[in-house]
Amino acid sequence: MAPPPIAPRRARLRAAAHEVTHVERHELAPVTGLITAIPVAAIFALGLALSSTGLAIAAAVGAELIGIVSLSAAPRLSLPLALADATALALSALAGTLTVANPWAHVLVLVPLCYAAGLLVALGQTPAAIGTQSIIAFLLLGQFAGSWEAAVRVGGAVAVGGVDEVLALMVLRLPPSLRYQRGRLVRAFEVVAALAREEASTSAIATLAVLDEAEETLSSPALFGRSDVRDLRALLEQLKRVRLELTTIAGLRARLGTPSVAGPWLAQARLAVADVLEEVAATLRAGTAPVTSPAAEALAEALARLAETPETGHDVVVAQYATRLRALAGQLRALRLAAGEAVSGERRAWRVRPAWRRAEPSDARTALALLGQALAPSSSAGRHALRLAIAVPLATGLALGLHLARGYWVPFAVAVVLRADYASLWRRGAGRVAGTAVGAAGAALLIGALRPDLALDVVLVTLLAWAAFTTWTASFPLGVACITGLVLVLLSTSLPDPSRTALDRLVDVTLGGAIAVASYLVWPSSAEAGVRRALAELFGSLRAYLGATLDLVGGRSRDAGSLAGASRAARAAWGRAEAAVGRSVEEPSSSRFAPASGRALLAVTLRVLRATHVLRLEAERGARVGSSAELDALAADLDGALAHLAARFTGEAPEAPTSLRARHDALVARLAGDPAGAVLASHLDELVDALNAAIRIADDAAL
């Protein structure tokens, strides 16, 4: 394989260097770090007091790994996934302990374990983290060789440590995260509201600068996969569209002639738009959504008066002005709903979510279908699984052949550095090696200078765990450095020469990182192809869900189970698309999907998904309008729009419908006077707006 061009290679090296040295100060979370670290220190101290040193180490490592995956799944980790992680860690430690005395058996068990762990990338970020942690438990905790009874004790200690961390995170409510990012978004809402109040000739350059700042704040690759960031990004995308509408309205305001009958109502509606934006800003700032919205009521009243004004139907500029205000009203309804969801109580606390949801057969079928697709070597997850299944056992064999004292750190490094995409491999690889170097050197100096006893070991474990969890989302290398120090302090309680252990780990991790990079370069994945597949699947899933929902709206009977299954399939497809776009963001420009287009499509498809879900809920509560030519025409065009968008990512696309807005307006006229129709029309308005935006994004990006 030819080496990458010099210029892109230098750019990636600069990006890796920036990743290693950069600290997102606003992401430092000392309170979160302390709450997450307490169970690790507590189970370690309890293990030392009640059991052996080895079991205390195993329990502390189990708690530490659960703590890390809880941060990766922020702001919430489901209880089933948390317990699945604890179980996987315990079983992996048990298998590693039973086979470590027989190198051939140890390597043979690693092959299917690594392959299965690699396939979990297809299910999302948190399952992928659980797979990697299972390999870590096998390699690291499997070093306590012994009998069946000893192996069961080690596995049990890991499970106890993991459950200890899970229970603590269920009980303790961690503080809300993303305060800085939320503050930047609040500021963006305030300046757009101010723009709505300004004279028509006012420049929007200052507003654009604030929006760009908010977008940059929310665009860190480290934030991908977090549900709280997802909601804030969606709000920002909607706010940017509001700003465009206000710019269009400013042009229409400049064209208005002499004062007219419609003038006061146009001005009242525009000022009500500003008031609604300020209400949304207040919602985000306070963290609670108001029960009523006086500004939204004032906007609705002004629009109703405009509709009754004869001038609105005869003056072209006034008619266009009123049309834009009505479009804004629909967008603002969606904004208020999304802001309420973003600050809901379920998302404000960063914790393990204790609620169980009854497993549905379709959930298992969806997961199995995804894993079945990942079995194909052409898929990103399939290639990652095969690379892991080959590279980690080979690294284990190499360490055995070189007679390295603690050679299990070599395959350990391969497992944690190797990623399914090139950019994460470089960033994480550089960060892992740099963090390990700093952590190993610091731990060696610390242990050598203090020569701690068991009591001081507990204090050091507490401090290092707190530092690791505090910095984990702010700087991956710094978090790795603290985790390295933590693990080495834990091991120092049972190893005679911890300073030598630190040096060995640095050398071994460097070697493992090199093996990981080489294994990826031999057989790389295509990030852009993965994004295109994920987006095509997403638009196809949305098409099926929306079609079933519109059947229900039109009075055609739909099975509740099939609707729920379509909803879950669409949500799962959105999550996979988000993960694919997130992996592609930092790829070399020659092989990545355009980051701005990917993020914009994620935001607009989230709007489609939410609007469809609300339509379905309203229809299930009885808000149905019966079949009509207007509804059937709109449903056909919505279906055609989603079919067009899905086909854009698989090959030649059919012509996109251009009549969505006209179809919607015809349906609104048909449903005039029908209370249920008015409710449904508002959500259909959001769907039309979102799909038109998606088509524009695809066209502008020449997809």
Dist CA 83 CA 87 (whole Å): 6
Residue 247 — pLDDT band, cuts 50, 70, 90? confident
Query: Which is more confident, 356 or 470?
Result: 470
pLDDT tens track for 541-563: 999 999 888 888 877 766 666 77
Query: Which is more confident, 404 or 173?
Result: 404
3-state secondary structure of 76: strand
3-state secondary structure of 203: coil
Tokens of 409: 């750190």
Q: What is the DSSP string of 624-662?
A: -----HHHHHHHHHHHHHHHHHHHHTTSPPPPPPS-HHH
Dist CA 447 CA 407 (whole Å): 22
Residue 389 — pLDDT band, cuts 50, 70, 90? very high
Most confidently modeled of 58-62, 301-305, 567-571, 678-682? 58-62
Residue 3's pLDDT is 45
- In this structure, which topology does domain 179-349 adopt according to CATH? Methane Monooxygenase Hydroxylase; Chain G, domain 1 (1.20.58)
Residue 111's pLDDT is 95
Query: Which is more confident, 182 or 77?
Result: 182
Lowest-confidence segment of 101-110, 212-221, 287-296, 349-358 by average pLDDT: 349-358
Mean of all residue pLDDT scores within the chain: 79
* Backbone Cα Rg of the chain: 28
Neighbour count for residue 524 (Cβ, 10 Å): 16
Nearest of 2, 33, 637, 603 to residue 335 by alpha carbon: 603
Residue 649 — pLDDT band, cuts 50, 70, 90? confident
Residue 361's pLDDT is 45
Burial letters 614-626, b for 16+ CB under 10 A, else e: bbbebbeeebbbe
Q: Residue 10 pLDDT > 70, yes or no?
A: no
CA angle 42, 45, 49 (to 5 degrees): 135
Q: Residue 109 pLDDT > 90, yes or no?
A: yes
Query: Which is more confident, 241 or 314?
Result: 241
Residue 620 — pLDDT band, cuts 50, 70, 90? confident
Beta bridge partners of 213: none
φ, ψ at 144 (rounded to 5°): -85, 80
Residue 38's pLDDT is 92
Q: Residue 702 pLDDT > 90, yes or no?
A: no
Most confidently modeled of 41-50, 280-289, 431-440? 41-50
Lowest-confidence segment of 372-381, 489-498, 548-557 by average pLDDT: 489-498
Query: Which is more confident, 583 or 306?
Result: 306
Residue 60's pLDDT is 93
Query: Which is more confident, 252 or 176?
Result: 252
Q: Residue 42 pLDDT > 50, yes or no?
A: yes
pLDDT tens track for 527-537: 667 778 888 88
Q: Residue 171 pLDDT > 50, yes or no?
A: yes
Percent of the chain whose pLDDT exceeds 70: 80
Compute the average pLDDT of residues 412-434: 78
3-state secondary structure of 78: strand
Query: Which is more confident, 142 or 514?
Result: 514
* HSE value, Cβ hemisphere, 13 Å, CA-based, for 100: 23
Nearest of 93, 96, 117 to residue 106 by alpha carbon: 96
Dist CA 70 CA 585 (whole Å): 23
Nearest of 121, 657, 11 to residue 367 by alpha carbon: 121
Residue 209's pLDDT is 79
Residue 496's pLDDT is 59
Burial letters 18-38, b for 16+ CB under 10 A, else e: ebbeeebeebbbeebbbbbbb
Residue 13 — pLDDT band, cuts 50, 70, 90? low
Which residues fall within 8 angstroms of residue 237, CB to CB, at 6 or more apart?
599, 600, 603, 604
Residue 395 — pLDDT band, cuts 50, 70, 90? very high
Residue 318's pLDDT is 78
Tokens of 186: 């609040």
Distance from chain centroid for Cα 403:
42
Residue 227's pLDDT is 62
Which residues fall within 8 angstroms of residue 210, CB to CB, at 6 or more apart?
187, 188, 191
Lowest-confidence segment of 18-27, 69-78, 154-163, 289-298 by average pLDDT: 18-27
Compute the average pLDDT of residues 164-176: 76
Dist CA 572 CA 578 (whole Å): 10
Q: Residue 354 pLDDT > 70, yes or no?
A: no
Q: Residue 454 pLDDT > 60, yes or no?
A: yes
Residue 293's pLDDT is 82
How far CA 290 is from CA of 282, 286, 287, 343, 686, in Å, comes to: 9, 10, 10, 11, 21
CA angle 106, 100, 483 (to 5 degrees): 100
End-to-end CA distance of the chain: 28
pLDDT tens track for 650-686: 766 667 777 788 888 888 777 776 666 666 777 788 7
Residue 56's pLDDT is 92
Query: Which is more confident, 33 or 179?
Result: 33
Residue 411's pLDDT is 93
What is the domain partition of the chain in residue ranges?
20-175+361-521, 179-349, 527-700
Residue 17's pLDDT is 57
> Can you give 273-323 as a three-state secondary structure string?
HHHHHHHHHHHHHHCCCCCCCHHHHHHHHHHHHHHHCHHHHHCHHHHHHHH
Query: Which is more confident, 221 or 545?
Result: 545
Residue 413's pLDDT is 86
Residue 6's pLDDT is 45
Residue 347's pLDDT is 44
The helix (run of H) or strand (run of E) holding residue 77 is strand 76-78
Residue 68's pLDDT is 87
Which residues fall within 8 angstroms of residue 198, CB to CB, at 6 or more apart?
none
Q: Residue 73 pLDDT > 70, yes or no?
A: no
pLDDT tens track for 318-342: 777 888 888 788 778 878 877 877 7
Residue 678's pLDDT is 65
Residue type, 602: L
Residue 346 — pLDDT band, cuts 50, 70, 90? very low
Long-range CB contacts (< 8 A, 24+ apart) of 208-215?
208/243, 211/236, 211/239, 211/240, 211/243, 213/184, 213/187, 213/188, 214/181, 214/184, 214/185, 214/187, 214/188
Dist CA 62 CA 350 (whole Å): 20
